[in-house]
Structure 1
C-alpha cells in the first residue's frame, strides 16, 4: 500500500490496481459539503462509499414515521433506554447543526448526488447505528447504561454556547464522532464498540467496494484507523469477516442472573428477619423496604412531572416490581403515563424540534413518557441499593 496525504482532509492510497481516496469531513461543516461535491466531480470515481447506513439514509430522505411508534410497545420490549439514547443523539447532531449553519449528514447526501451526477455507483458503508448502540448497551453494566444516558443528555441540554474557536474546531470534526469520542472517554468499556469496531467495519466495506477508483466520504476522526486497517486487509493480516460485529452479543450469565439474585437476596433477608427476629422485626424490615423504594421511585415520578395517578401507582408498585425481574417500575409508570396523557398527532409532528430542549422533552407527550420511565427506573434502582445495607443492619 502506498499512501499519499494530499491535504488535511484527503488521503490517497494505492493498492496495486485499486486506488482509494479517503475524504475526511465534518458532518456539520458547509466547507465539507462543497469539498465533497468538488472532489467527486473532479476525480470521477467508479464507486463512492458514504459513511451512513441504509436506515439513516431512509430517515433523511423519507423522514421517521414516529406516528407508528407505540410508547407501550417500546417499553414492553425493553427498548426505552435505547430509544432515549437515539433521541438524545439526534438532538445533539441537530443542535450542533443549527449552531454551525448546516444539517448533519448533508455532506453524505451531497456525495450521493455527486456520485449520481458523474455516473458512479455508491454504497452505504457504515454499520447500522442501532447495532452500534445495542452492542454498546449490551457491553455496559446497569450503572454504565445510566452514565451513557446522562452523558448524552448532558451534551444535548448543555446551556453553554459554542465559542468561535470551538465552532472552527468542530468544523474539522465529525459531529457524530465527537459525541462517540466523548462517550468512549467517559465509558472506556464501550470504546471498542463506538470507535474501533466502526473503523474496522468502514475499512472493510471500503476495501471490498467494486471499481478501480474509490472515494470514501468518512468522518475525519476515522481516517487514521481506516488507513491502518486497510493496510492490514491488503496484507492479509486483518480478518474480512464482519459477522462477529454485526450482531448483538447475548448477555453474560452474571448479567442475566443479577436481576434474579438481588431480589432473591432481599426476600431472603426479610424472611430471615421474620423467622429469627420475630414478626415485628420482619414487618419493620418489610415496611422499610416499601417506604424507601416507593419513596425514591415516587420522587422520580414527581421530578418528571408525571400525572398524579402515575405518581401514586409508581409509589405503590415500586417495592414489588423491584422484587420481580420480569418487569420494572419504569415500564409500569411509562406505559401508564402514555395512557393517561396519550401522545397526540402534534407531538409526533413536533418531535424533531421538541428534542432540542429540556422544555420540549417535557412538553412532548411521547418523550415525556420516556422521561417518566427513565427517572422512575433510576429512583427505584437507587432505592434498592439504599435499602439493602439498612436491611442487613436491622438483623439481630
Structure 2
C-alpha cells in the first residue's frame, strides 16, 4: 500500500492515520478505499459536517428548502456563497468525470463495509462562513464575492496533474487563497480554527485505530493541534457582533434625517432637493441591482421604493423586500430545485434558475442600496454645506 499522502500519528495507545486528499480527485478516492480496507480502523473520520453529510445522503434535499425562510432569516448571502463554492467544485469534478467529494463518499461507504464508526469531523459550514463574513467590512465582502464569482465562471480548465497539486490545499482555501493575503483574518476561521476542530474530533473518535479523510491543507495543522486539547463549544460559537457597526448604522440615518430636517427648516427648497437626491440615489442603485439579477418588474419597483426607507433603518434591507416580492411572483418549482446542482455550473444557469435568481436579487439589491446610501448621503451633506 502506498504511503503517499498518508500521515501516521501515535497518541498513547491510539493510532491515527490521516489521508490528505484533493476533493475532486479519482486517485484520492481510490486511496481512501485502499487504506480503509487494509487498515480496518475502528473509526473513520470524514471532513464533513451534518449539513453536507445529509446533502450527500439525500440528493433531493434542495426540494425541501424554504426560500422565503432563507430570505427572512438573512441567510441569502451565505447560501449564495455556499452555492458559488459548490459550483466551482462540481465544475472541476465534471471535467474529470467524477462526483465532487468522491473521497468523502468513499470514506462513508468503506466505513460501512468494514463496520467502523463514522465520525463527521468538520465544523458546520454556516458557522465557518458566519465567522468569516462577520470579520470583513463592506469593501472586503464585495471583493470576496466578486473574486469567488469571477473564479467560478472562468472557462479555464486544469490538467489532472495540476489537480493533484491541489492536494496541498483545502477546497475552500484554494478558492479563497488570494484573499488571505489581502484579508489575513480569513485564515483563522477558514483554516486554523477548523484544524483545531478537526483535530479534537479525530482525537475523540472511538477505538484504538482511526482513519481520517481530509483535505490535505489541514494535515500539517492537525499534526500540531492534535497534541493539544480544544474546546469544541467555543469553536462553534458565533461571536457576538460588535456594537460599533450597529451604532454607526443608527448614527448615519439619524444624521441624514437631522441634516435634511434642519435644511427644510432653514431652506425648504434645498431640503426638498436633498430628499429627492436621497430617494433617487438610493432607489436607483437598488433597482439597478435587482435589474442586474433579472428581477421581476415589481421586484425592481420594490427595490426602488424600499431602499430610501430601509437605508434609514438598520433593521431593514431593500433586498429582503425585493427578494420576497420575487419569490411571490416567481416562486421556484420543484424542477428548479432539482436542476440546481446542474444550473450552478454556468452564469446562465445561475441567472436562469429561480432559486439562485432570488438570492442574487437579495444580494445585488442590498449592494446597490449600500452604494446609493453612500452617494446619496454625500449629496445630502453637499447641499447642506452649500446652504448653511
TM-score (norm 1): 0.91
- Aligned partners of 2:28 and 2:189: how far apart in 1? 26
Post-superposition offset of 1:84:
0.9
- Paired residue for 1:247? 237
Give the aligned length. Answer: 384
1:382 correspondence with 2:363: no
Could you say what secondary structure the match of 1:23 adopts? strand
Task: Say if 2:20 and 2:167, in contact at 8 Å, map to a contact too.
Answer: no
1:181 correspondence with 2:196: no
- Aligned partners of 1:313 and 1:63: how far apart in 2? 35
- Aligned partners of 2:112 and 2:142: how far apart in 1? 43
1:365 correspondence with 2:331: no
Task: Say if 1:180 and 1:195, in contact at 8 Å, map to a contact too.
Answer: no
For the structure 1 residues 393 and 30, does the alpha-carbon distance in structure 2 shift closer, same or farther, using more than 3 Å as the test?
same
TM-score (norm 2): 0.93
User: 1:338 aligned to 327, 330, 335, which one?
Assistant: 327
- Paired residue for 1:296? 285
For the structure 1 residues 251 and 99, does the alpha-carbon distance in structure 2 shift closer, same or farther, using more than 3 Å as the test?
same
Task: Say if 2:44 and 2:111, in contact at 8 Å, map to a contact too.
Answer: yes
For the structure 1 residues 164 and 47, does the alpha-carbon distance in structure 2 shift closer, same or farther, using more than 3 Å as the test?
closer
- Paired residue for 2:121? 125
- Paired residue for 2:270? 281
* CA offsets 1:107-145 (integer angstroms, 9 cap, x no match): 112122222333322211111112211222222223333
- Paired residue for 1:82? 78
- Paired residue for 1:329? 318
Could you say what secondary structure the match of 1:72 adopts? helix
Which stretches in structure 2 are left out of the alignment for 5+ residues? Answer: none
- Aligned partners of 2:252 and 2:146: how far apart in 1? 24
Alignment RMSD: 1.9
* Structure 1 residue ranges (4+ consecutive) displaced by more than 6 angstroms after TM superposition: none
User: 1:19 aligned to 5, 10, 15, which one?
Assistant: 15
Task: Say if 1:46 and 1:214, in contact at 8 Å, map to a contact too.
Answer: yes
- Aligned partners of 1:215 and 1:76: how far apart in 2? 41
- Paired residue for 1:67? 63
1:269 correspondence with 2:259: yes
Could you say what secondary structure the match of 1:40 adopts? helix
* CA offsets 1:202-258 (integer angstroms, 9 cap, x no match): 111111222222211111111100001123x2xxxxx43221111211111112323
Post-superposition offset of 1:7:
4.3
1:230 correspondence with 2:226: yes
User: 1:42 aligned to 16, 38, 43, which one?
Assistant: 38
Which stretches in structure 1 are left out of the alignment for 5+ residues? Answer: 1-5, 234-238
